[in-house]
Amino acid sequence: MNKITGKDLINILKNISKTKNISLSSNLIKDKILDSLDLINLVFLIEDKYKIKLNDQDLNDKNFKDVQTLVKLINKKIGG
Which pLDDT score is estimated for 78? 95
Exposure letters 25-64 (e unless 16+ CB within 10 A, then b): ebebeeeebbeeebbebbeeebeeebebebeeebeeeebb
> In angstroms, rounded to a whole number, what is the distance separating the alpha carbons of residues 27 and 45?
19
Query: Mean pLDDT across the stretch 14-33?
Result: 92
> In angstroms, rounded to a whole number, what is the distance separating the alpha carbons of residues 20 and 31?
12
Q: What is the mean pLDDT of the chain?
A: 93
Q: What is the pLDDT of residues 34-65, one digit of tens each?
A: 999 999 999 999 999 999 999 999 999 899 99
Which pLDDT score is estimated for 80? 52
Length of the chain: 80
